[in-house]
Amino acid sequence: MKPIAFVVTGVLVGILSGMVGVGGGIILVPILIFFFGFSQHMAQGTSTAMLLPPIGILAAWTYYKNDMVDVRAAALLCAGFVVGGLVGAKIAIVLPKEVLRRGFGGILLGISLKLILGK
């Protein structure tokens, strides 16, 4: 394990996440797999564990201070996310890594195409 590489990766993922407003996992999971050799399951678990403290604190506060947060919508999304995250984690741990990898890739591809081709 190279602590500096993880810290630098965290900084870069944080910058991108803060700039474009996506969860860092969409960026971090592929990095952990391709550059750090993590399995799909390990990358997803590590990404989820990493996201707990920073997302709800500094990035959200910055947007909030600039009147760019719908607090009610965020609270309702959070309530759903708690349930969905638990269910999703329970499903993910029993899926074969190949199914998980292809599913994640499909989601990234769909998002990419929508962003590139959509209005």
Residue pair 6/37 in contact by the 8 Å Cβ criterion: no
The pLDDT of residue 70: 84
Q: Report d(CA 97, CA 17) in Å as an integer.
A: 25
Q: For 78-82, 86-90, 103-107, which range has the lowest pLDDT when averaged over its residues?
A: 78-82
- Whole-angstrom distance between the N-terminal and C-terminal Cα of the chain? 42
Query: What is the per-residue pLDDT across 35-78, written as a single tens digit (0 to 9) for each?
Result: 999 998 999 888 888 876 666 677 788 888 999 988 898 888 87
